[in-house]
Amino acid sequence: ATLEPSELFKARWLMSDTTAAPLLREYYGRGGWEDVRLEVCPEADAVNAEFQRQPEKGRERHARLKRVFRVQLEDSRAAPIVKYVAAKSVGWGWLSYHAYLAGTRLAGLVPRVLGLRNGLLWTEWAGPIPSRDEPGSGDVTTAIDPGTVGRYVARRVARLRLAEDPFAGNTAPDPNGWAVLTQILRRVYGVRLGRLKSPVLRRSLGRYVSPVPALVDGRMHRHEWIITDGAILKTDFEHHNFGSGELNIVDPAYDLAAAAFELQLSEEAEAALLSAYAEESGDRAVGARLLLYKLLYGVVTMREAVSQRPVDARQNDRYQTARRFLVHEMHRHCATRILEAPGAAWSRRLFALDLDGVFDCDVLGFPHTSASGLTALALLQGHRYSVIPCTARSIADVRSFCRTYGLPGGLAEDGSVFYDAVEDREWSLLDEVATAQLARCREVIRQLPEVFTDPAYRYAIRAYRYQGHETIAPDRGGLGALLARDGLDRLTFRMTLGEALIVPRAVSKGRALLAAKRRLEGAVESVAAIGDSERDVSMLEVADFAYAPANCSTGIRELARQGRCRIMALPRQLGLLAAVRDLLGRSAAGDGATGLPTRVCLEPYDDPVVGVLRAADRTRLRALLAACDWRRL
């Protein structure tokens, strides 16, 4: 017969006050307390009831046997005080020792450890008794000092040091952080060819083995950081990341990457995090390893967010947050490779740049550029073009993109809003009726089964469903019927493979580009543009110089037949670079400019991220030839 969890010895022992009380008397008796009594507490009972419920989706393997006690301590020399104590299952025998060692060696940074008995770790509860199912999961609105987090990670390096990284260079099929990171990066070569590049990728990643391997935390969620009167304490500090089915990472950079994501740190806060860590740990090279672990953490978070079905709103938000994190961090890294990029300022010449499929590709599972895309942007900036992203992405994405690359502004949500980064202002291009219908549509679209919306969109609605770890477009018929049934006659939708974008009928990239020119009050002399889809046709029609990569749509090809657009011989980012060189070659004759400065650093060649940027540009033939070269990325 199979025992129920409640029938196990540890569960029966923990749930009995007659066994817990003597142990707590022993622990607190060492501190001189004469009388130690368990008290009935409705708040503690409510928390314990939460512990007994099913763990939330996606966290089943992290569930542990837990219980909270209210304890009154009395001493003839002092007034009685009340303590809350948490007992948590951490393993059996020597498999539980790591929890006690971690808790005692991190004293002052984690809740006070009372002892370890029968595989249960006894600690004092940090903060007030909450109403959720995590120790110390009280108020999460107060920001956590990044310096404190950095010092916590550094303290783990100093006091929980390991001799080596046991998985570095390991080619065993067992899943681990290095193996998953290799799988992520090799996607750029394709499904089949990527397997051939795994050995060279592993060798390249070998340069990033941590010089200070340690027992990392592995879980840096905001609700696990508790602000008390005298300190900031980290709960749930002892059992994540290691074991079967875990990543088994020993690089503290992983915790720093996780903190940057989970605590939603700004660039300034992240700098404070890294500075505090490096100062206390002496690990000055951590910045070179950070991006790799951000990619790993973000991709794994995306996968885990939608690994359970059906997907709920919380999982959707986490998936999209992780995706935006990956996009931003990859672009942020790429921007550092443009040397001496000018600051955001408007010039006489505009270049309207479509992002998806033109500047960006998505071979890693999220949008990012390539070496050619980055070079094209650097050329335009070097020749004083005001590059404005003209995209279906959200206003939040465009703001981030402009800030990262130092661009003066952009058009977001398929032409629904113009953003001026120089003045940091947004101009909605919607009328009141369309705005009201969009608000109504956000409410009624929830009626469609398994359809979600991107919370970052404010002037349009991005709707999608989940299939595996990817998004797909909703059913066209269901979406059309919904708009018709609810009288949303000012709205329409535009479909792609991964989404549907609901926008006012009057909105287009072309109208938005003309509106942006008017906002700039006649300071624009010429406009160049490049796009690849039907959405971009209106933008190309109003441009003075219109370009498209070889992978463009039928509508753009018709425009080219009319002599109103030039289609490059190369696709995607290679086509973008060819278009930019053609444009600059034309303008050089008129303005006396000479040379085409690239000002992009794409070295060292064996850097895995540089390898991804270069490999993303390869044609199928070049990719096949490169796959046969076992020495280079």
Token readout for 105 is 């060696």
Distance in angstroms (rounded) separating the CA atoms of residues 145 and 225: 10
Please check the confidence at residue 134 and state whether its pLDDT lies above 50.
no
Q: Does residue 140 lie within any of the structural domains?
A: no
Same domain, 352 and 480: no
Token readout for 415 is 């032409």
CA atoms within 13 A on the CB side of 9: 6
Same domain, 480 and 535: no
Torsion of CA 42, 44, 50, 51, to 10 degrees: -150
Same domain, 411 and 397: yes
C-alpha closest to that of 163 among 212, 208, 206, 105: 212
Across 233-261, average pLDDT: 92
Please check the confidence at residue 27 and state whether its pLDDT lies above 70.
yes
Neighbours of 147 (CB within 10 A): 16
| pLDDT digits 0-9 by tens, 166-196 | 888 776 667 799 999 999 999 998 877 888 8
Distance in angstroms (rounded) separating the CA atoms of residues 229 and 129: 15
C-alpha closest to that of 287 among 274, 272, 276: 274
Across 252-260, average pLDDT: 98
Burial 377-396, CB ≥16 within 10 A → b, else e: bbbbbbbebbbbbbbbbbbb
Tell me the CATH number at 397: 3.40.50.1000
- Residue 222 gets the label, from left (phi > 0), alpha (psi -120 to 50) or beta, of alpha
Same domain, 277 and 207: yes
> Residue 244's pLDDT is what?
80
* Residue type for position 232: I
Please check the confidence at residue 61 and state whether its pLDDT lies above 60.
no
Same domain, 436 and 408: no
According to DSSP, the residues that pair with 360 across neighbouring strands are 356, 369
Q: Does residue 166 lie within any of the structural domains?
A: yes
Give Cα 209 to chain centroid, integer Å: 23
Work out how many domains the chain is built from and give that number.
4
Instruction: Please say whether the dihedral angle defined by the alpha carbons of residues 331, 336, 339 and 345, taken in this order, is positive or negative.
Output: positive
Distance in angstroms (rounded) separating the CA atoms of residues 216 and 158: 11
> Residue 25's pLDDT is what?
94
Same domain, 416 and 449: no
User: Which of 69, 91, 124 lies at the terminal end of a domain, its last residue?
Assistant: 124
Token readout for 492 is 């329409």
Percent of the chain with pLDDT over 90: 71
Same domain, 168 and 230: yes
C-alpha closest to that of 314 among 305, 302, 304, 323: 305
C-alpha closest to that of 87 among 52, 61, 113: 113
Average pLDDT, the chain: 90
Q: Is 117 exposed, middle or buried (0-12, 13-18, 19+ CB in 10 A)?
A: middle
Q: Does residue 40 lie within any of the structural domains?
A: yes
C-alpha closest to that of 88 among 57, 126, 58, 56: 126
Across 336-355, average pLDDT: 91
C-alpha angle 153/155/160, rounded to 5°? 95
Same domain, 211 and 270: yes
H helical segments located in 30-137: 42-52, 97-105
Same domain, 259 and 281: yes
Give Cα 70 to chain centroid, integer Å: 39
Banded pLDDT at 8 (limits 50, 70, 90): confident
Banded pLDDT at 11 (limits 50, 70, 90): confident
> Residue 7's pLDDT is what?
66
> Residue 132's pLDDT is what?
43
SS3 598: coil
Banded pLDDT at 140 (limits 50, 70, 90): low
> Residue 231's pLDDT is what?
85
Residues 182, 198 contacting (CB under 8 angstroms)? yes
Tell me the CATH number at 213: 3.90.1200
Instruction: Please say whether the dihedral angle defined by the alpha carbons of residues 169, 175, 181 and 182, taken in this order, is positive or negative.
Output: positive
- Of 74-78, 320-324, 613-617, give the range with the top mean pLDDT: 320-324
Structural Rg of the chain based on CA atoms: 28
> Residue 591's pLDDT is what?
54
Q: Does residue 351 lie within any of the structural domains?
A: yes
Least confident of 61-70, 295-304, 315-324: 61-70
Same domain, 369 and 517: yes
Q: Does residue 253 lie within any of the structural domains?
A: yes
Residues ≥6 apart with Cβ < 8 Å to 146: 259, 263, 265, 269, 270, 272, 273, 276
Q: Does residue 607 lie within any of the structural domains?
A: no
Please check the confidence at residue 467 and state whether its pLDDT lies above 80.
yes
Least confident of 77-91, 198-212, 589-603: 589-603
Distance in angstroms (rounded) separating the CA atoms of residues 491 and 484: 10
Distance in angstroms (rounded) separating the CA atoms of residues 19 and 123: 16
Give Cα 596 to chain centroid, integer Å: 35
User: Which of 293, 324, 355 lies at the terminal end of a domain, its last residue?
Assistant: 324
Q: Does residue 86 lie within any of the structural domains?
A: yes
Domain coverage including residue 66: 5-124
Banded pLDDT at 87 (limits 50, 70, 90): very high
| pLDDT digits 0-9 by tens, 538-575 | 999 999 999 999 999 999 999 999 999 999 999 999 99
Banded pLDDT at 602 (limits 50, 70, 90): confident
Host H or E run for residue 24 = helix 17-29
Please check the confidence at residue 136 and state whether its pLDDT lies above 50.
no
Please check the confidence at residue 71 and state whether its pLDDT lies above 60.
yes
Q: Does residue 451 lie within any of the structural domains?
A: yes
Residue with tokens 């005001």: 386
Residues 288, 267 contacting (CB under 8 angstroms)? no
SS3 403: helix
Same domain, 436 and 463: yes
* Residue type for position 318: R
pTM of the predicted model, to two decimals? 0.92
| pLDDT digits 0-9 by tens, 360-386 | 999 999 999 999 999 999 999 999 999
Tell me the CATH number at 485: 3.30.70
Same domain, 21 and 81: yes
